Amino acid sequence: MTTSGKKTAENTTAVAMTPAAMMTAQTEQAITMARDSFEQIATRSREAMEQGMKTVNVVTEMTRGNVDAFLESSRAASNGLQVIAQEVTEFTKDSMERTASAARALTQARTAPELIKLQSEFARAEFATAIAEYTKLSQTMFQTMSAIFEPLQKQALTSAQIKDLLAE
């Protein structure tokens, strides 16, 4: 055979593959394509799973933060209400003692002007004491409300920041 005859024979072999060889080549190509597709699916699934786990972790942390903030807020409310109850109890006890003392003094008054003077002094003193006590009680209530809402406000800000991070 001549050189050109060899080339023609090789070309004919390459172009005219046997049906078995063609089937094998197509099967291998299909297997390769399927493997590549499965690898892509597996990679995307893994990435989605990782993102899902990250989201679950963030939501878990956020929920834990919410519970902690609620508990801290509840403790502040409980402590504040206890302080307020003690203040009201002490004021009431002191008021009852002052009233009893004033009543004794009023019963010992010998004249009407003395009675009116004692009663006026008692009324003025009680009014001033009540205003001072209500001011003190208002400050305690304000501090209690601030202590109650502070952890909730901090957690709300943290949650908003986390939400923004998840959106990215």
pLDDT tens, residue by residue, 123-138: 999 999 999 999 999 9
Residue 11 domain flag: no
- The confidence score (pLDDT) of residue 3 equals 53
Q: What angle do CA 47, 51, 52 make, to 5 degrees?
A: 115
* pLDDT of the residue at 158: 87
d(CA 166, CA 168): 5
- Position 54 scores a pLDDT of 86
Q: What pLDDT does residue 168 have?
A: 66
- Which residues does the chain have with pLDDT short of 70? 1-16, 168
pLDDT confidence of residue 132:
96
Total domains in the chain come to 1
- pLDDT given at position 61: 86
Other CB atoms within 10 Å distance of the CB of residue 62: 16
CA distance linking residue 91 with residue 97, whole number of Å: 10
pTM for this entry: 0.63
Q: Could you give the CA distance from residue 95 to residue 91 in angstroms, rounded to a whole number?
A: 6
Residue 3 forms part of a structural domain: no
| pLDDT confidence of residue 46 | 92
What local confidence, expressed as pLDDT, does residue 62 receive?
86
Radius of gyration of the chain (CA): 44
Could you tell me the residue range of the domain that residue 132 belongs to?
A: 32-167
In a domain, 14, yes or no: no
Q: Indicate whether 42 belongs to any domain.
A: yes
pLDDT in tens, 60-72: 888 899 999 999 9
| Predicted local confidence at residue 4, as pLDDT | 53
In a domain, 20, yes or no: no
